[in-house]
Amino acid sequence: MDSASLAALASIHPQQNLHTVFVYGSLMADEVLRILLKRTPQSSDAVLNGYQRSSVKGRVYPAIIPVTSKKVSGKIISGIKDSEMYLLDAYEDFEYKRITVEVSLMDSLEKLLVYAYVWGNEKDPDLYGDWDFEDWKRDHLEAYIEMVKEFMEEYEHSGP
């Protein structure tokens, strides 16, 4: 394709802002991302220092809150479009707030500023213990996928 054709294409499809998000719970599962985003974004293993991942009473997904001496392992997903960020905001709901955090990539120890969804109430009495991704996949992934499909049906009918 020549440069004139590329320029014409770019004016039809202006470049979107692309975002990077640290995920540490259900969004680490490619199966969940494929339902939500209709694709599997590029990802890398990462660590978030100064936070703790906890189980939430009555829920199968975790929350993170700031705790100086702790760290959370997860991954970053990159190339997330604005429209996908709005979808993730809706998916994470009002109990989480999206903030910018610094993570370290596991393979290079490079540090990046990325978005993460942090539990809004640091003193929530419903937060307890630890949350394990492998246990969650084994015990809850299948049923969770159905819940995510229902969320997407509702989201697509109601719009962002």
Where do the domains of the chain lie? Answer: 18-158
% of the chain residues with pLDDT over 70: 89
What are the DSSP E strand ranges found in the chain?
18-23, 42-56, 62-81, 96-105, 111-119, 127-128
d(CA 138, CA 11): 46
Cβ-proximal residues to 89 (8 Å cutoff; 6+ apart), any chain = 98
CATH pick for 18-158 out of 1.10.3720.10, 3.30.310.80, 3.10.490.10, 3.40.605.10: 3.10.490.10
In a 3-state reduction of DSSP, which class is residue 33? helix
In the prediction, which pLDDT does 5 show? Answer: 36
In the prediction, which pLDDT does 109 show? Answer: 79
d(CA 104, CA 47): 5
d(CA 127, CA 133): 16
Beta bridge partners of 42: 78
pLDDT tens digits, 24-42: 999 999 999 999 999 999 9
Longest dimension (CA), the chain: 60
Q: Give catalytic residue positions.
A: 92
pLDDT tens digits, 75-126: 999 999 999 999 999 999 899 999 999 999 998 879 999 999 999 999 999 9
